[in-house]
Amino acid sequence: MFVIIATMPSGPGGAFTNISYVFLDRDGVLNRTLVGAYVTSWEEFEVLPGVEQAIAQLNRSGRKVIVVTNQRGIALGLHSEAQLHALHARLREHLAAHGAHLDAIYYCPHDYGECRCRKPQTGMFEQAFQDFPGALADNSVMVGDSLVDMEAATRLGMRSIFIADPAAPRSDASRASALAKACAASLLDCVGRYLA
């Protein structure tokens, strides 16, 4: 395991000027989280407002857009990896129809404590750093809606932006926002305020 410590500029306005790689959580950032359930098919996948526009803006800026998502539903037998791949293929088609694309999608299919890839562990990021040789914690940002997203970024020394999920426990949201370099209301708000 390797950890790259980033030096973070002070103040949110100048904190994201050198970002080349944008890591996104999926549920709660790209699509609506199902409270008490898992998104297992495209029919259950509700793209959040402004997501297509936000990703297209990131694409036009020349940044790489990479999804890192925990998918415990596979470990629980609620859906298969093949079904997840099919869902992500539909997501890619949907984004392409709006002039947007994802450069990579990494997912963890494991249950708690079974691996080093499930956030807040850093395995998915480390794999991305191998696959994208220019990617480092210092030129990347994690955008997520959960405490584990912010914790993973903190372990890597990566800057992070927290998108508040109204369904999340208040204590987790408070801890997540304290770890984040900045907060936003949505992915579109995040891109407009910090990554434009």
Q: Which helix (H) or strand (E) holds 107?
A: strand 104-108
**CB distance 110 to 73 below 8 Å:** no
d(CA 118, CA 77) in angstroms, rounded, equals 17
Known active-site residue 25: yes
Annotated catalytic residue within 25, 145, 149, 165: 25
Task: Write the CA distances from 112 to 41, 77, 119, 121, integer angstroms.
Answer: 22, 14, 9, 10
Task: Write the CA distances from 71 to 27, 96, 184, integer angstroms.
Answer: 10, 23, 24
Annotated catalytic residue within 27, 145, 149, 165: 27
d(CA 75, CA 70) in angstroms, rounded, equals 11
Known active-site residue 27: yes
**CB distance 150 to 162 below 8 Å:** yes
Indicate which residues carry an active-site annotation. 25, 27
